[in-house]
Structure 1
Amino acid sequence: MAQTLEGRKVAILAADGVERVELEEPRGALLGAGADTELLSLHGGDIQARQMDLDAAGTFSVDKLVSDASVDDYDALLMPGGTMNPDQLRTSADAVAFVKAFAEADKPMATICHGPWTMAEADVLRGRRITSYPSIRTDLRNAGADVVDEEVVVDGKLISSRSPADLPAFCATVVDRFAL
C-alpha cells in the first residue's frame, strides 16, 4: 500500500551548489505522496544547482531563510548533497542550529551524498549508523558515526544514502519512513 504524507510538511535545507537531482527527485517523491515541502536556505531568491558538482544545472526558488525557520513548523527534514551545498551549510550557525534542533526534537531526517557534513558539524551523529559519499566517511567517523557502505541506511528516524545512484531506494525509503 502506498504511503501518504497528506498534512505533513517537510523542510528541505539546501544552499548554492546543491546537486540538482538529489533535491529534485526526493522532493518529487514527497510531493507525489502528498507532502508539502519548503526550501530553506542561507539567502533569499534562488539557489544555484549543479550537476555532478561541475556543471550549472538551473536554480531553485527559496521559500524561507533557515534563520527564520522553526523546527516546530515541520514534520521532517531532507538534506540533499553536492559538495558545495553542505560545505556552505556547515559554516552557517543558523543552518547548524536548525539541524541540531531537528535532531533534538527526534523528528525524521534524511540525507544523501555529502549532506551529512552539516549533521557532523551539528554534532548529532555520535553513535548513529549512517552512509554517505565515500569522500566524507572519515569526517563522519571522526564525528562519532558508525559509517557503512550500503544503498540506504535507516537508524531510527535517520535515513541516509550514498549518491544519486541510490535515489530510487532513497526516495522510496524517505516516503515510507516520513509517513510513520
Structure 2
Amino acid sequence: MDQHYLTPLFEPQSIVLFTGPQDQPDKQTPQALALLAHLKAQPFKGHITPLDTSTTGTLADLAQVKADLAVIALPPGEIMAALELAGRIRVKAALVLSTGIGAQQAAEMHRVAQRQGFWLLGPNSQGFQRPQLQLNASAVGDLASSGQLALVSQSGALTASIMDWAKQNKVGFSTVVALGPHTQ
C-alpha cells in the first residue's frame, strides 16, 4: 500500500532543522527558539539534523543528509535559501514557522516547493504537534496531551486558546495544526 502524501509531514522519521546559528541564539527568531525548546523538552524519537544555510558544506556533504521533513524557522530573507536547500536534499515536506510573510513571497515559496517536489505547510504557520509521536514542531505552547481529537485551524491564536482550554479540561489531541493564512 502506498504511503499517504502527508505522512512525511505528520509522521516524519527524520527532520532537518533550519533555525539559524546554533551557537548564536540572539540571531535566532522567536519561532526558532520556541521550536528548539520544544524539541529539547520532548525529544523526538527520529533523527534530527541541524543545517545552517550559510555553512552547509559541499554537495557531497549534503548528499549524506536524509530527511522526510524540513522545519524552517528563519528570518523572512533567509527562508527561500532554506527551501532551495531542502529541495536539494530531497525532503518530502517542509514546515515554515514564520511571521510577516506577504502573499507574494508566500506564493513564491509555494512555487519553489512545487518545483522541488515537496509539500509545504506555511509560511506564517505556527506549526503542528503530534502528541502520540512526542513531536512538537510548533511555536505554540507545550506538547498537548494525547487523544483521539484532531485540531486544525488557520489561526495560531485560536489554536493556542483551544489548547489552553483543552489542557484545563483534560482533552487530548492526535494532531494539532496551525496552518497560517498562506498554506495551500
Q: If the length of structure 1 is used for normalisation, what is the TM-score?
A: 0.43
Give the TM-score, by structure 2 length.
Answer: 0.42
Give 1 or 2 for the bigger CA radius of gyration.
2
